[in-house]
Structure 1
Amino acid sequence: MNELSIYQDKILSLAAENKKSIAIQDFNRSYEMKNPMCGDEVKVRIKLLNNQIDDISAIVRGCALCEASAGLTVKLFKKSEMPNSNFIEEFLNWLEYKNQNLSNSLPQEMNIFTPIRDIKNRHKCIIMPFEATIKSIKEDI
């Protein structure tokens, strides 16, 4: 499989890793989202501690892209500061406009989704876990 395949090895590896994860039980923020177009569902649970994401889980029932995105969400945000309030907007802009480079405020690991930029009907699959995370902590950022 090449690097431009939407199901490249890195994406499949992230998806497989997240599929094995379990929902955290000690949390103080949560959010659930569903994509009625494809049936993907994501349930994010977050333990905020001193304005940082101490722990996070993102459980998915859906496609490998959504599962991989959930895995990256957990990897990027666990034990970290909260994402900036423009995170989703910047991510969407990068997905939508092919001539735009990934913003410096977004983690470089997001480049894993470069092959999906051309497939607009899959954007929601990769945005949902990040969006659910932002919505669960919106009042805190």
Structure 2
Amino acid sequence: MSADSDLINLYSGRILALAADIPALGKLENADIEVKKRSPLCGSTVTVGVKFSDGQISDFRQDVKACALGQAAASVIGGSVIGCNKTEIQMLQDELTAMLKSDGPAPSAPFDGLESLRPAKDFKNRHASILLVASALTEAFDSQK
């Protein structure tokens, strides 16, 4: 199978459906913190706005300008992030990184829908885009006052 057909197969119906239905889009007014992340390799960007309450994410919005893979990741994460604490977000980032870079298991619930991105492990140039929202959320927690 050629590299071109591998790439075409990567963009499955599930990934395209996720990319077409990203929750929590937009700018969060009066966010406690806003973090913008950019993938230098492909130029994908995400900006997340987060509000915290009692150490958990109480509100969240995201502006996603990424490939379908980055959009699919933003879709899964955006639909499950409310109520998460710093430990859960760090676990998300660690598990997603391990799945992509060392063929580890899919992230645990509520982010197990990221399993659909497993085929991207063979496309290292796509990893940064897929990790943008998780990285931005980790930074948001790390930057809390």
Q: Do they superpose with TM above 0.5?
A: yes
1:96 to 73, 95, 101: 101
Q: CA deviation at 1:61?
A: 1.5
Following the alignment from structure 2 to structure 1, what is the Cα–Cα distance between the partners of residues 124 and 58? 33
Three-state SS of the structure 2 residue aligned to 1:56 is strand
Following the alignment from structure 1 to structure 2, what is the Cα–Cα distance between the partners of residues 104 and 35? 24
Following the alignment from structure 1 to structure 2, what is the Cα–Cα distance between the partners of residues 56 and 42? 13
Aligned to 2:21: 17
Aligned to 2:65: 61
Following the alignment from structure 2 to structure 1, what is the Cα–Cα distance between the partners of residues 91 and 131? 13
Report % sequence identity.
23
Q: CA deviation at 1:87?
A: 3.4
Paired residue total: 136
Deviations 1:50-86 (A, max 9, x none): 1111111121112111112112221121233342534
**Residues 1:24 and 1:84: Cα distance change in structure 2 (over 3 Å):** closer
Q: Which AA in structure 1 matches 2:53? A: L
1:73 to 63, 77, 81: 77
Q: How does 1:24-39 map to 2 (within 5 A)?
A: 24-39=28-43
Q: Which AA in structure 2 matches 1:32? A: K
Following the alignment from structure 2 to structure 1, what is the Cα–Cα distance between the partners of residues 16 and 24? 13
Q: CA RMSD in A?
A: 2.4
Retained in 2: the 8 A contact 1:15–1:67?
Answer: yes
Q: CA deviation at 1:32?
A: 0.4
**Residues 1:20 and 1:30: Cα distance change in structure 2 (over 3 Å):** closer
Structure 2: stretches of 5+ with no match in the other structure: 1-7
Retained in 2: the 8 A contact 1:59–1:70?
Answer: no
The reply on whether 1:87 has 2:86 as its aligned counterpart is no
Three-state SS of the structure 1 residue aligned to 2:116 is helix
**Residues 1:19 and 1:109: Cα distance change in structure 2 (over 3 Å):** closer
Aligned to 1:42: 46
TM-score, length basis structure 2: 0.80
Judge which range, 9-18 or 110-119, deviates more: 9-18
Judge which range, 15-24 or 130-139, deviates more: 15-24
Retained in 2: the 8 A contact 1:58–1:71?
Answer: no
